[in-house]
Structure 1
Amino acid sequence: MQRASNVVVIATRRSPDSVSIAQYYAEKRKLPSTHLFTINCVPQEEVPLVEYRDTIEKPVMELLRQRGLELSVDYLVLTRGVPLRIREGGFSVDGALMCAPLKRPFNTQPTEANLNPYFGKNERFSRRKYGFYLATRLDGYTMQHIRDLIDNALKAKRANGVFVLDLDPKRNSGGYRTINESMRAAAKLLKSRGFEVILDEDEAFVGAVRDIIGYYSWGSNDHKFNVLSYRSLRFRPGSIAETAVSTSARTFRFTDKGQSLIADLIAQGATGVKGYVSEPYTAALCRAEVMFDLYTRGRTIAESLWAASPFILWKDLVVGDPLCAPFA
């Protein structure tokens, strides 16, 4: 069983918001005081590699050792203010930190060293077994959105909701085709198990759907993307989502410039969302049939989104409470 003793939450003391979120999460999940870590990194979105090593990785790994949590903890939860991206190579801080025990090199192209040994596994994640942690993040446009993210994870229960899979029929070559086929496979699987599914294979971008429990689309990469439609989606507590967008987690500050952001989906009630801090290539994107299959079989947000991800130590970032598992 996944429980609070499997989690540490990490804040930077240089950001009152970061500390406040960590305390809110720790209180709601009844984390032991030893599982709340405060480090001294600068609250900024991007960090040089040397600074990441000195102010994030080193102190977190030392605290895990000092508190005897190195092997008993499975999940690291980062909070707003802890940097998102490592400047050299555009790697995700979350991905780097969770893989720190593996001591793998950073590769500018994904290689065998980046393959995720947990990919596709329908089993409880364990740091002892896999040798690394799973990281998630509590972030969003506003403090209220982040508190809602935590509250929605606690409210989540098995309930009727709709799965929305919005293909782009024009993206049918190379790696793009893989993502469309992944959505089709997910729709078939979910329907066979009695879930309500909207599989949209038309050109129009889907909007104005309520009670979403699972969502996957091309976001702003859809040829018919409509930002108002994207922002009209509404999610149930316990919902998970992914968009095939290269820089969907590049920032959690509101902007109308650049590609669509997962922060919009968080603002609209999504409880667990995967995004990317820089170009990951389509090969790194979640496999829709894996993430939704595992989640509806009772795996947690962290397990479902990371087990659907082919790579680790890459550009990936998962937002949400790692323990949320409404179908468990």
Structure 2
Amino acid sequence: MCIFASPIPIHFFLILFSLVLLAAPGHALQADEVLVIANSRADDSLGLARYYMQRRGIPAKHLVRISTTDQERCSRQEYEQEIRHPVRQALLQLPATTRIRCLVTIYGVPLAIRSAELPAETTPSESGNKGNHAAVDSELALVLTDTYPLPGWLENPYFLGFQAHKSFLERDSVLMVGRLDGPDPATVRRLIDDALATEHNGLQGTAYFDARWPLPESPTQQLSGYALYDASLHRAAEKISQSGRMTVRLDQNETLFQPGDAPRAALYGGWYSLGQYVDAFTWVRGAVGYHIASAECTTLRQQDSQVWCKRMLERGIAATIGPVNEPYVQAFPPPELFFPLLAEGYLSLGETYLVTLPFLSWQMVLIGDPLYQPFKPRNQQQRGHSFSSPGDHDCPGLPESPCHNDAAEQPLAALCQKPWAMAFSAPPRHSH
């Protein structure tokens, strides 16, 4: 995996995470805010879409049938004409009273877009490289954006780390995207069923975090690249432990968890075994986790593949995250943001992913039901925090709040100006 990152004090992320917990009641992602996309040319795609919609109570009119290749990778032309165009038209033709906040792609919808030759005069975007290969889902997040540069990545305006930035993208044109996919239709049905069953009983088990080095002694030490994400695994473990949600096991040795080391795994974050899943885990129903490495969602169907997303799904995990191509390390959701925010219980899986994902028009994919809420909020009266519309408060993209910390007597808007994005500088401009 490549790294391109500048230093950032790791505790800045912890301060920002605390802002999320100050949100006032709103509402979490609802079933009638979801649009489901199925491929009529792929066996089982429409059937799985209808099964998901029936189980979640998603209106039947929120199904979009596309007709495109059933292969895992499509061309840029196929994406534009056979995926983006029909989805965009379906969204634009919905009644004005219908609010769609999330798209769900179903088994059979291509996973990734192959890189295409760019005109010689093409200017790379300020962030990212010249390749225009990307995850289908990451591009669909921008389906309501009329035009944007294809080369490289674009900063996600919802990412908690970019709230001090003036983004190229408008937040009201960015959608959440999740994917119900896997090696076979039975796995997809299990993902749907496991999410619903776990919401009823609550996610229980052990949280495993697999770092490689001890946490630096100084909490203000500036870190970058691999060290930043390794420390983020430590911080995630600390936050989950402090939450009291479940037992936490943190490993800080070079060796990864080995077979038999991780029974009853409910949460997992770790690194680095490139394209080689280590069968160390017995996943509980509803488990959520991801492995930070470059190739872990390059395929979900290749039979002999050992990439982590595919193998975790085969072994029983309910939700995971991974890249379809080299993403660079700073494209992953920082573990210390993703896991504690999910464990707070206020946001769904899809909402948690959206606010912790640094880049769009890029390589990352969320596999799992975006409506999934594996934890119930501690304070039931505050269940269902949500994202506000643009302009609702001074901290754009955060859950609804007056943007003021009464306890600390410090305006949250001021904290939002911290230079969070120092850790997410652009990689060099070269084509793959």
Across the two proteins, how many residue pairs are aligned to each other?
313
The structure with the largest alpha-carbon Rg is 2
Q: Among residues 119, 130, 134, which one is paired with 2:159 in the alignment?
A: 119
Segment of structure 1 superposing worse, 298-307 or 131-140: 298-307
Give the deviation of 1:81 after TM superposition. Answer: 1.3
Do the aligned partners of 1:141 and 1:252 also contact (CA within 8 Å) in 2?
yes
User: Which residue matches 1:281?
Assistant: 328
Distance 1:238 1:83 in 2: 25
Distance 1:58 1:213 in 2: 38
User: Which residue matches 2:196?
Assistant: 154
Distance 2:308 2:253 in 1: 23
Please state if 1:233 is matched with 2:273: no
User: Which residue matches 2:212?
Assistant: 168
Distance 2:82 2:95 in 1: 20
Per the alignment, do residues 120 and 268 of structure 1 end up closer, same or farther by CA in structure 2, a change over 3 Å counting? Answer: farther
Do the aligned partners of 1:238 and 1:325 also contact (CA within 8 Å) in 2?
no
Per the alignment, do residues 279 and 252 of structure 1 end up closer, same or farther by CA in structure 2, a change over 3 Å counting? Answer: same
Please state if 1:182 is matched with 2:225: no
Report the TM-score when normalising by structure 2: 0.68
Q: Among residues 51, 70, 73, which one is paired with 1:43 in the alignment?
A: 70
> Higher helix fraction: Structure 1 or Structure 2?
1
Distance 1:119 1:28 in 2: 30
Per the alignment, do residues 324 and 210 of structure 1 end up closer, same or farther by CA in structure 2, a change over 3 Å counting? Answer: same
SS at match of 1:210: strand
Distance 1:307 1:264 in 2: 26
User: Which residue matches 1:54?
Assistant: 81
SS at match of 1:99: coil
2:160 maps to amino acid: G
Give the deviation of 1:15 after TM superposition. Answer: 1.1
Q: Structure 2 unaligned segments of length 5 or more: list them.
A: 1-26, 116-131, 162-169, 217-222, 377-432
SS at match of 1:155: helix
Q: Among residues 177, 188, 194, which one is paired with 1:135 in the alignment?
A: 177
Give the deviation of 1:107 after TM superposition. Answer: 4.5
Percent identity over paired residues: 29
Please state if 1:311 is matched with 2:359: yes
Please state if 1:260 is matched with 2:307: yes
User: Which residue matches 2:243?
Assistant: 193
Deviations 1:106-160 (A, max 9, x none): 44343xxx11121138xxxxxx964211111111112111111110010113243
1:115 maps to amino acid: E
User: Which residue matches 1:244?
Assistant: 292
Root mean square deviation, CA, Å? 2.4
Higher relative contact order (CA 8 A, sep 6+): 2
Distance 1:159 1:282 in 2: 28
Give the deviation of 1:30 after TM superposition. Answer: 1.8
Please state if 1:18 is matched with 2:45: yes
Do the aligned partners of 1:106 and 1:313 also contact (CA within 8 Å) in 2?
no
2:243 maps to amino acid: R
SS at match of 1:16: coil
Distance 1:14 1:144 in 2: 18
Q: Structure 1 unaligned segments of length 5 or more: list them.
A: 122-127
Segment of structure 1 superposing worse, 60-69 or 93-102: 60-69
SS at match of 2:350: helix
User: Which residue matches 1:4?
Assistant: 31
